[in-house]
């Protein structure tokens, strides 16, 4: 037969693993909520009571183990758990307070994580907002394929918006340059879509570690009726209490991934087994080297200049955008750990592969003031 | 020390340890130009968190904007806004991330300028530790004190006092000791658990990663090793709380309460209470997409289902039944004011806390706090960046715990109804006794209690004057202004009443008398309900107006005579009524063939041919304010 000390120890362990309070366990073992506490303070009990308590404890241990109940026992919260919880909190807040939210879905890794978090936040409901993809018509074909399959598999409402005036005018990166193309097909298109559907809040996957003006932006970031950001008058944002009130016409950009780093994103993708576009993994792809950047020949709209050669190379992408504006890196990494390894060894930031960020200094802040996400 | 991953290291092992690392959130604060941004730039750089392309940009930026004569200016790594780089100052908080072998860090680099204090508070609200910088040449400045006080107010318990720019004072120990002593003396009442002083040069890197040979007299740790090991955990056990954020109802069979556990632990079978309703039930399950959980701890975002079909909605708090949270409609709190427009006692703001928005007003500013001396000052308002202790009156009860016991349950923000700005933030100290009583023993609900709740003294503003004299115009403007001030009003206008309540009345003298009697009685009920009631009626007979006044209590009837002369009113003739009356098409028209008896002692008299309607409205609101009608 067990002694009182063992009984106490086992009861405490049970309490820890199940979350049942010691009082509850005490009541179940001894018909007295304070019984265990009394023993702990040196109180004794009769052998008969002890025997009965020990039998009940055996039963309780079997019945209450999480496994017996089919329950998951979470470990102490890790850094990723905290980030996850923070993002979920932000998304729920928007859904609770804003009338017509939308999630900007850009098909990249950050969007993949953001969408995954939304599935968690509202489970068992589906995320109560549509996805919006601003299609410049110059995205990698694999991205579009991935997007359509995913939306169908998850049964989510996907809205695709293209600036039709831009299409009519034949705007593209090769003919008009990256700045004009990005402005018309991305920034203006986004504004059109938000105005058209009257979305008053839009989730975006931007992270503060991406770029130095992003590091300054609030999680809830306000835009005037003409979609301008005023970095000089951001609202205070204390604790996790968010002021979501807007005047008519104003809207909010919400960044649930603000506090995630690139490494966090990849680790989370690995941990949660999140599906990503295969372009992130190395494969043989046709590329041309242009101004020191490897550009993939994704379709026949890409003009090949004199002296240029299309080569099959093992490459992958650190970020995804319009194919003519996204530099590939030569790489053999085709598993997640290998990608992470390469990222950790790399001495350049992920945005370096983006042609648009190099156009002018302070370009991101300026673009955002003009309505870029 | 840095956790740079090197070729040949095992990636799986690296990631496994990386994921288990704990995390420290800290901020840098202190007076303008003390070197906060430089310090963070230095830390990021030395912890190898800067990529080559960013370093390259830093080099060229330093030449363009730098304060170091072309040498690397580390502040430019964090001062990311164009305006900041041009002016060489920090305007808004920057959040940066880095990690070492031992820990991960989120740093908030905050501005030193007093003007941007609210951005500093933003960064401080989520931090566990503060690095307060002091320029070794200048010592403790008012802004050092202000920031220290705000850190303490927000509940930060650990501070590092970084006495910076030691290179400029030749690393002299006496300088360091002098400042250390002054700071410790000042900070005594602030209740920090630890204060650690370090002599640094952010610019040159002394005592940042390793101990500097320039300060052999310093026997403490270098900054980064200290940050890697300092223990900021709070060990107080708090009871379970989860404010409901969103009710999840995918179908009729499922009803889940989504929210973030802000303290304690919850498990299936736990007895809980829904506040404020007080209904008790048990937790049935903790639902996640991966499966049900055996328990959930603080900070986890979960969805709970309950055993019974109890009603709970957004803003309700699910709490441990044995230790429920408090609830009150009257609170004492410390408030940090953040708006250019000053805080006005009596004005209605929206208080947001625990997922609830409740109209609230500051009924009393008990005192302001001088951040330099920590003395209490008297005052009527709080200006930008001022801190005060206030009494608040809410139009609904708030479920809360004192901020000192539970940060999440005791914090709130105040939002301006018109501009939507976040104008202030607050930390609840305790409930005022009165409201505890209100909660437990239902008090009589009467005119007084309603007035208190609304924060106004109800009264009837009686606008009398000729047709076309401007009564309705002025009354409308007055109502708008009162509404903007968060006052609850109602306007009874001749036209709207004659279409309903008094539809059966005509314009004979008898009918006019009955008309006024009914309006007076309806208005009286509204005043009893606590409303500031505006009545806009020609009401030509002195005796009827007197009759209404006599049915009200002293001070509840305010007679406003719009004394615009007949000629002017007739000339305006907005509705074309005077013309018709002159032609004899309308009988018994006041001023033409029916008398208007002017008030002998009106409380207010306004002639709109001399005073613009806007100005008139302002005068009336001023009158109300002066005579205490706009306070509860
Ligand atoms: N000699 C010396 N100069 C320093 C040191 N730290 C900072 N500075 C200089 O002090 C000036 C102000 O530095 P910042 O880092 O911008 O100061 P700050 O505290 O961030 O200023 P605000 O954010 O605007 O309040 C710059 O010119 C820095 O190069 C130091 O340790 N020694
Ligand atoms: Mg600075």
Position A352 confidence tier, pLDDT thresholds 50, 70, 90: low
Q: What percent of chain B is predicted at pLDDT more than 90?
A: 66
3-class DSSP state of A295: strand
What DSSP character marks residue B382? B
User: What average pLDDT does this structure show over B206-214?
Assistant: 95
CA A234–ligand 1 middle distance (angstroms): 24
CB contact under 8 A, B249 and A125: yes
Q: Which residues contact A161 (CB under 8 A, 6 or more apart)?
A: A132, A133, A134, A135, A189, A190, A192, A193, A196
> Which chain A residue's Cα is nearest to B296?
A74
CA A261–ligand 1 middle distance (angstroms): 27
| Test site for ligand 1: of B35, B96, B143, most ligand atoms within 8 A of the Cβ | B35
Q: What residues pair up with B411 in beta bridges, in sequence order?
A: B427
pLDDT of residue A54: 87
Other residues' Cβ atoms within 10 Å of the Cβ of residue A236: 24
pLDDT of residue A358: 46
Task: Give the closest-approach CA distance of A312 to chain B in angstroms.
Answer: 27
CB contact under 8 A, A340 and B291: no
pLDDT of residue A18: 72
**B609 is an active site residue:** no
pLDDT of residue B444: 65
pLDDT of residue A65: 65
Q: Does the pLDDT of residue B400 top 80, yes or no?
A: yes
Tokens 């008030």 appear where? B599
Which range has the worst mean pLDDT, A289-303, B404-418, B497-511? B497-511
User: What average pLDDT does this structure show over B559-566?
Assistant: 94
C-alpha B299/C-alpha B264 separation (Å) is 9
- Pocket lining: B112 vs ligand 1, CB cutoff 6 Å: yes
Nearest to A5 by CA among A28, A33, A36, A48: A36
**Is A94:A202 a contact under the CB 8 Å cutoff?**
no
The ligand with the least distance to the CA atom of B168 is 1
C-alpha A112/C-alpha A106 separation (Å) is 9
Q: What is the CA radius of gyration of chain B?
A: 32
pLDDT of residue B352: 97
pLDDT of residue B617: 94
What DSSP character marks residue B294? S
pLDDT tens column, A172-185: 998 998 889 999 99
Listed in order, strand segments (DSSP E) in B124-193 are: 129-135, 158-164
Q: Which residues contact B223 (CB under 8 A, 6 or more apart)?
A: B43, B131, B160, B162, B198, B200, B207, B208, B209
Position B292 confidence tier, pLDDT thresholds 50, 70, 90: very high
pLDDT of residue A350: 67
**Is B204:B79 a contact under the CB 8 Å cutoff?**
no
> Which chain B residue's Cα is nearest to A76?
B297
CB contact under 8 A, A340 and B421: no
Task: Give the closest-approach CA distance of B400 to chain A in angstroms.
Answer: 14
For the beta sheet containing B557-562, the strands, ordered from the edge strand earlier in sequence to the opposite edge, are: B489-493, B532-536, B459-464, B557-562, B604-606
Q: Is A76 on the interface with B (CB under 8 A)?
A: yes
C-alpha B279/C-alpha B259 separation (Å) is 18
Q: Does the pLDDT of residue B338 top 50, yes or no?
A: yes
pLDDT tens column, A114-146: 999 999 999 999 999 999 999 999 999 999 999
**Is A360:A343 a contact under the CB 8 Å cutoff?**
no
Contacts 24+ apart (CB under 8 A), A148-154: A150/A275, A154/A119, A154/A126
Q: Which residues contact A29 (CB under 8 A, 6 or more apart)?
A: A7, A11, A35, A36, A53, A56, A57, A60
B291: left (phi over 0), alpha (psi -120 to 50) or beta: left
User: What average pLDDT does this structure show over A35-46?
Assistant: 84
User: What average pLDDT does this structure show over A179-194?
Assistant: 92
The catalytic position among B152, B201, B539, B563 is B539
pLDDT of residue A291: 87
Ligand 1 atom closest to B133 (CA) = 19
Question: Quick one: tokens of B298?
Answer: 């603080």
Residue by residue, DSSP assigns B34-58 as SSHHHHHHHHHHHTT---HHHHHHH
C-alpha B315/C-alpha B312 separation (Å) is 8
pLDDT of residue A68: 60
Listed in order, strand segments (DSSP E) in chain A are: 101-104, 131-134, 158-161, 201-203, 220-223, 251-254, 283-290, 293-296, 311-316, 329-330
pLDDT of residue B517: 87
**Is B623:B474 a contact under the CB 8 Å cutoff?**
no
Q: Which residues contact B117 (CB under 8 A, 6 or more apart)?
A: B146, B150, B338, B384, B385
How much is the mean pLDDT over chain B? 90
Residues, chain A: 373
Interface test with A, best of B4, B8, B11 (most A CBs within 10 A): B11
pLDDT of residue B441: 35
Q: How many CB pairs under 8 A join A and B?
A: 222
C-alpha B97/C-alpha B104 separation (Å) is 8
User: What average pLDDT does this structure show over A304-323?
Assistant: 92
Question: Quick one: tokens of A332?
Answer: 């053999």
**Is A313:A297 a contact under the CB 8 Å cutoff?**
no
Compare CB distances from B52 to A212, A231, A347 and report the shortest one's residue.
A347
CA B51–ligand 2 middle distance (angstroms): 21
Q: What percent of chain A is predicted at pLDDT more than 70?
A: 94
Position A351 confidence tier, pLDDT thresholds 50, 70, 90: low
Q: Does the pLDDT of residue A359 top 50, yes or no?
A: no
User: What average pLDDT does this structure show over A282-311?
Assistant: 92
Compare CB distances from A79 to B21, B301, B415 and report the shortest one's residue.
B21
CB contact under 8 A, B248 and A124: yes
pTM of the entire structure? 0.76
**Is B493:B462 a contact under the CB 8 Å cutoff?**
no
**Is B529:B450 a contact under the CB 8 Å cutoff?**
yes
pLDDT of residue A344: 85
pLDDT of residue A13: 83
Tokens 């690296």 appear where? B14
C-alpha B609/C-alpha B473 separation (Å) is 13
CB contact under 8 A, A216 and B80: yes
> Which chain A residue's Cα is nearest to B22?
A79
Which range has the worst mean pLDDT, A184-198, B505-519, B617-631? B505-519
Interface predicted TM-score (ipTM) of this complex, two decimals: 0.80
Position B16 confidence tier, pLDDT thresholds 50, 70, 90: confident
Between these two residues, A294 and B452, which has the higher pLDDT value? A294
Which range has the worst mean pLDDT, B32-41, B55-64, B252-261? B55-64
pLDDT of residue A355: 52
Q: What percent of chain B is predicted at pLDDT more than 70?
A: 97
Question: Quick one: tokens of B291?
Answer: 């499966």
Between these two residues, B141 and A178, which has the higher pLDDT value? B141
Task: Give the closest-approach CA distance of A96 to chain B in angstroms.
Answer: 6
- Pocket lining: B205 vs ligand 1, CB cutoff 6 Å: no
Which range has the worst mean pLDDT, A37-46, A82-91, B535-544? A37-46
Four-point Cα dihedral A50, A52, A54, A60, nearest 10: -140
Listed in order, strand segments (DSSP E) in A157-302 are: 158-161, 201-203, 220-223, 251-254, 283-290, 293-296
pLDDT of residue B71: 79
Position A69 confidence tier, pLDDT thresholds 50, 70, 90: low
Residues of chain B positioned with their CB less than 8 A from the CB of A259: 95, 97, 106
Between these two residues, A307 and B1, which has the higher pLDDT value? A307
Ligand 1 atom closest to B113 (CA) = 25
Residue by residue, DSSP assigns B193-252 as SEEEEEE-BTTTTBTTSS--TT-TT--S--HHHHHHH-----------EEE--EEE-SST
């Amino acid at each position: 037969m067990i002694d009182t000390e063992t009984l106490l120890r086992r009861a405490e362990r049970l309490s820890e693993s199940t979350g049942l309070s010691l009082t509850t366990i005490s009541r179940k073992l001894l018909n007295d909520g304070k019984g265990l506490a009394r023993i702990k303070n040196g109180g004794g009990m009769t052998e008969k009571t002890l025997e009965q308590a020990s039998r009940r404890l055996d039963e309780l241990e079997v019945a209450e183990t999480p496994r017996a109940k089919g329950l998951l026992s979470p470990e102490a919260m890790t850094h990723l758990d905290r980030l996850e919880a923070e993002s979920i909190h932000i998304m729920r807040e928007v859904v609770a307070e804003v009338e017509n939210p939308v999630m900007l879905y850009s098909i990249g890794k950050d969007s993949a994580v953001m969408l995954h978090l939304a599935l968690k936040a509202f489970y068992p409901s589906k995320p109560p907002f549509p996805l919006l993809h601003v299609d410049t018509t110059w995205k990698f074909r694999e991205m579009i394929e991935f997007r359509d399959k995913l939306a169908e598999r998850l049964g989510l409402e996907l809205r695709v918006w293209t600036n039709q005036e831009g299409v009519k005018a034949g705007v593209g990166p090769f003919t008009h340059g990256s700045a004009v193309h990005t402005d018309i097909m991305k920034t203006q298109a986004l504004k059109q879509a938000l105005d058209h559907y009257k979305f008053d809040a839009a989730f975006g996957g931007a992270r503060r570690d991406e770029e130095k003006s992003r590091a300054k932006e609030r999680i809830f970031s306000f835009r005037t009726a003409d979609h301008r950001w005023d970095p000089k008058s951001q609202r205070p944002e204390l604790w996790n209490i968010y002021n979501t009130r807007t005047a008519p016409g104003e809207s909010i950009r919400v960044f649930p991934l603000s506090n995630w780093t690139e490494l966090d994103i990849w680790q989370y993708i690995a941990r949660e087994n999140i599906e990503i576009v295969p372009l992130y993994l190395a494969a043989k792809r046709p590329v041309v080297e242009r101004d020191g950047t490897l550009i993939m020949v994704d379709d026949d709209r890409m003009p090949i200049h004199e002296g240029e050669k299309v080569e099959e190379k093992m490459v992958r992408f650190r970020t995804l955008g319009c194919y003519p504006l996204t530099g590939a890196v030569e790489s053999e990494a085709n598993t997640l750990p290998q990608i992470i390894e390469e990222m950790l060894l790399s001495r350049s930031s992920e945005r370096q592969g983006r042609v648009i960020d190099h156009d002018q200094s302070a370009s991101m802040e300026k673009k955002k003031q003009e309505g870029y996400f | 020390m840095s956790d740079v991953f090197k070729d040949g290291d095992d990636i799986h092992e690296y990631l496994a340890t990386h994921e288990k690392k704990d995390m420290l959130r800290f901020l840098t604060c202190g007076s303008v130009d003390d070197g906060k941004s430089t310090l963070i730039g230095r830390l990021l750089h030395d912890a190898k968190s800067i990529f080559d392309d960013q370093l390259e940009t830093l080099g060229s930026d330093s030449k363009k904007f730098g304060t170091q004569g072309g040498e690397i200016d580390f502040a430019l790594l964090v001062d990311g806004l164009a305006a900041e780089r041009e002016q060489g100052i920090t305007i808004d908080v920057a959040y940066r991330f880095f990690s070492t072998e031992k820990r991960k860090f989120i740093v908030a680099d905050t501005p030193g300028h007093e003007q941007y204090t609210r951005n500093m508070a933003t960064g401080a609200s989520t931090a566990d530790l503060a690095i307060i910088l002091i320029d070794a040449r200048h010592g403790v400045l008012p802004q050092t004190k202000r920031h220290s006080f705000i850190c303490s107010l927000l509940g930060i318990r650990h501070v590092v006092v970084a006495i910076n720019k030691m290179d400029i004072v030749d690393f002299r120990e006496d300088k360091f000791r002098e400042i250390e002593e002054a700071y410790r003396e000042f900070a005594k009442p602030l209740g920090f658990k630890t204060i650690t002083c370090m002599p640094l040069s952010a610019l040159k890197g002394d005592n940042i990663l390793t101990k500097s040979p320039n300060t052999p007299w310093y026997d403490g740790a270098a900054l980064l090793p200290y940050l890697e090991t300092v223990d900021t955990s709070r060990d107080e056990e708090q009871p379970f709380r989860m404010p409901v954020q969103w009710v999840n109802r995918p179908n009729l069979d499922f009803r889940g309460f989504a929210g973030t556990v802000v303290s304690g632990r919850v498990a299936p079978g736990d007895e809980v209470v829904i506040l404020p309703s007080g209904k008790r039930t048990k937790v049935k399950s903790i639902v996640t997409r991966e499966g049900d959980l055996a328990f959930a701890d603080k900070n986890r975002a979960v969805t709970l289902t309950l055993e019974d079909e109890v009603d709970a909605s957004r803003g309700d708090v699910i709490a441990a039944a044995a230790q429920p949270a408090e609830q009150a409609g009257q609170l004492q709190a410390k408030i940090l004011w953040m708006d250019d427009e000053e805080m006005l006692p009596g004005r209605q703001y929206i208080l947001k806390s625990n997922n609830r928005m409740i109209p609230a007003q500051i009924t009393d500013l008990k005192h302001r706090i001088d951040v330099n001396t920590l003395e209490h000052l008297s005052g009527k308002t709080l200006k930008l960046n001022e801190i005060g202790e206030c009494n608040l009156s809410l139009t609904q009860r708030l479920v809360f715990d004192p901020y000192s016991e539970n940060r999440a349950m005791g914090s709130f923000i105040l939002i301006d109804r018109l501009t939507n700005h976040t104008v202030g933030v607050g930390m609840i100290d305790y409930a005022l006794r009165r409201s505890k009583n209100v909660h437990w023993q239902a008090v009589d609900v009467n005119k007084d209690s309603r007035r208190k709740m609304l924060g106004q003294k109800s009264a009837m503003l009686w606008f009398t004057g000729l047709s076309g004299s401007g009564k309705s115009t002025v009354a409308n403007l007055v109502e708008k202004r009162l509404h903007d001030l968060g006052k609850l009003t109602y306007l009874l206008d001749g036209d709207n009443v004659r279409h309903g309540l008094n539809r059966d009345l005509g314009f004979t003298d008898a009918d006019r008398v009955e008309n006024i009697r009914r309006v007076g009685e309806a208005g009286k009920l509204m005043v009893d309900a606590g409303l500031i009631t505006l009545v806009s009626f020609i009401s030509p007979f002195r005796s009827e107006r007197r009759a209404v006044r006599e049915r009200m209590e002293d001070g509840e009837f305010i007679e406003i005579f719009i004394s615009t002369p007949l000629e002017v009113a007739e000339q305006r003739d907005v509705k074309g009524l005077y013309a018709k009356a002159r032609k004899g098409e309308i009988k018994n028209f006041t001023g033409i063939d029916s008398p208007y008896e002017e008030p002998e002692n009106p409380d207010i008299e306004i002639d709109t041919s001399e005073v613009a309607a806007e100005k008139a409205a302002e005068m009336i609101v001023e009158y109300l304010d002066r005579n205490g009608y706009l306070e509860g």
